[in-house]
Amino acid sequence: MWRGGLGAVSIGIALTALPWAHAQAGPKKPAKAAAASKAAAPKAAAKSGSAKTSSAKAGKAGSATKADVRREPPRGKRAIAENKRDAKVASAKDSKKGGKADRVRATVVAKGAKGKSRAQERAERLAARETRVTLRHAVHTPREAPAPRLSIAQAAGLHHAGDALDLKSSVALVLDQDTHEVLFSKNDHAVLPIASLTKLMTGLLVSEARLPLDELITITDEDVDYEKGSSSRLAVGTTLTRGELMHLALMSSENRAAHALGRTYPGGLQRFVGLMNNRAAALGMKDTRYVEPTGLSSSNRASAIDLATLVGFASQDPLLRQLTTSQGYEVAVGSRVLTYNNTNRLVHKPDWQIGLQKTGYISEAGQCLVMQARVAGRKVIMVFLDSNGKYSRLADAERVRRWVENERPSSTFAGNGYAG
């Protein structure tokens, strides 16, 4: 009795102390059931193998989902790296899409512009066609050319006066310098603008004053012609000697040079102009008046008789003779060398013996020319005012020279016949 009780107690303690073994092992099976389960185990294993194969095939579709579920969210540096990678991929995709869209838009715009230009071309062709049709059937009305500006002599009708030599100048005077005989005259008492013939008096005063010819003179803004806008190659700031300025003024009719000579004369420009008028009066030039030293002003006026007197007196000055008949002259202006030519082509002709000359032109005066030359052994003074063209004044001089050589006149010959 005691043995059985002790064994029961020990078995109970053992079972009580190991309850987990009960749960893991489960209820004890009968022997027959265990044998049956052992026999069925291979079949179950085979079935489970086939089940695994089918589940593997089916599980491919859901593998990504399972992987996402299994993967833990990135943390730390790994998370930052993956975020950057994802951002780059997304940006590349967006730029690819955007670039394609931009190309599409550019293509559309280009096609639209091309279509627009074609439409404009069609419109222009139609307009040109209509214009041609209109011009073909229109009555052409020629536009009237503007009337040429008349000189003061032409406005007075002096150019209508005929003469035996068929001169193109409205005023002409030819006289023997030694005998003072008037060989030919045409409107010689008319008082007209004399343009750059004025510079003869300018040069005469400077020469008579015996001012130093090597003195430097600078062109200033005061020497610029703002009234008529005449051109000059002597820019403001150019510095030349007085002798160089005289040469350019008398040979090439350089206006700024002539104005600078008067401006720098002792006493200034106003005094210089006063001396010009005083000298003219002293020479007996009763119809002469000067207001400035260049001749750009139409208020500088004289008659052909007065100009012949001035030419006769100026031709006795060796400096004026040399400067007015010089064929060309060069002056150094900074790093440049300016070349000037004589405004009178006759000084280049070997068959002319010219002692002194001066040309002039403004629209109010027309083309003008005065000369002292030796013709047929005689010292002849010629004055031509208001000639029709630049070369017609030279042609008039040629006619007069041939006439003097052939006719050898000795009495006064007027434009419309002999004058007592």
Instruction: Count CB atoms within 10 A of the CB of residue 218.
Output: 12
Question: Among the options 151, 169, 170, 199, which is catalytic?
Answer: 199
Instruction: State the chain's mean pLDDT as an integer.
Output: 80
Cα 400 from Cα 292, distance rounded (Å): 32
Q: For position 340, which CATH number holds? A: 3.40.710.10
Residue pLDDT, tens place only, 295-320 = 999 999 999 999 999 999 999 999 99
Residue pLDDT, tens place only, 332-355 = 998 999 999 999 999 999 999 999
Tell me what pLDDT residue 245 has: 98
Q: Which two tokens stand for residue 121?
A: 């071309």
Residue pLDDT, tens place only, 29-70 = 444 444 444 444 444 444 444 444 444 444 444 444 444 445
Point out the least confidently predicted range of 83-87, 254-258, 386-390, 401-405. 83-87
Which three-class secondary structure string do you get for the chain? Answer: CHHHHHHHHHHHHHHHHCHHHHHHHCCCCCHHHHHHHHHHHHHHHHHHHHHHHHHHHHHCCCHHHHHHHHCCCCCHHHHHHHHHHHHHHHHHHHHHHHHHHHHHHHHHHHHHHHHHHHHHHHHHHHHHHHHHHHHHHCCCCCCCCCCCCCCHHHHCCHHHCCCCCCCCEEEEEEEECCCCCEEEEECCCCCEECHHHHHHHHHHHHHHCCCCCCCEEECCHHHCCCCCCCCCCCCCCCEEEHHHHHHHHHHCCCHHHHHHHHHCCCCCHHHHHHHHHHHHHHCCCCCCECCCCCCCCCCCEECHHHHHHHHHHHCCCHHHHHHHHCCEEEEEECCEEEEEECCCHHHHCCCCCEEEEEEEEECCCEEEEEEEEEECCEEEEEEEEEECCCCHHHHHHHHHHHHHHHHCCCCCEECCEECC
What's the total number of domains in the chain? 1
Q: Are strands 354-362 and 336-341 parallel, antiparallel or unpaired?
A: unpaired
List the one residue out of 378, 210, 195 whose CA is nearest residue 290: 195
Predicted TM-score (pTM) of the model is 0.65
Cα 218 from Cα 237, distance rounded (Å): 6
List the one residue out of 379, 196, 367 whose CA is nearest residue 297: 196
Residue 64 lies in a domain: no
Tell me what pLDDT residue 129 has: 73
Q: Which two tokens stand for residue 70?
A: 């299994």
**Amino acid code (one letter) for 75:** R
Cα 169 from Cα 398, distance rounded (Å): 13
Is 55 an active-site residue?
no
Q: How far is CA 279 from the centre of its chain?
A: 47
Over 80: is that where the pLDDT of 368 sits? yes
Residue 290 lies in a domain: yes
As a whole number, mean pLDDT of residues 168-191 equals: 96
As a whole number, mean pLDDT of residues 238-256 equals: 98
| pLDDT tier for residue 227 given thresholds of 50, 70 and 90 | confident
Residue 138 lies in a domain: no
b/e per residue 138-151 (b: at least 16 CB within 10 A): eeeeeeeeeeeeeb
Cα 260 from Cα 220, distance rounded (Å): 8
Is 303 an active-site residue?
no
Residue, of 23 and 339, whose pLDDT is higher:
339
Over 60: is that where the pLDDT of 156 sits? yes
Which three-class secondary structure string do you get for 137-152? Answer: HCCCCCCCCCCCCCCH
Question: Among the options 151, 185, 253, 297, which is catalytic?
Answer: 253
- Is residue 382 within 8 A of residue 166, CB to CB? The reply is no
Question: Among the options 151, 169, 170, 196, which is catalytic?
Answer: 196
- Is residue 382 within 8 A of residue 173, CB to CB? The reply is yes
- Is residue 347 within 8 A of residue 139, CB to CB? The reply is no
Residue 49 lies in a domain: no
Residue 351 lies in a domain: yes
Whole-number percent of the chain with pLDDT over 70: 65
- Is residue 203 within 8 A of residue 250, CB to CB? The reply is yes
Is 253 an active-site residue?
yes
Q: How far apart are the first and last CA of the chain?
A: 204
List the one residue out of 148, 170, 173 whose CA is nearest residue 159: 170
- Rg from Cα positions in the chain: 59
**CB burial of residue 174 (10 Å; 0-12, 13-18, 19+):** buried
List the one residue out of 133, 202, 184, 215 whose CA is nearest residue 396: 184
Q: What is the span of the domain harbouring residue 326?
A: 152-418
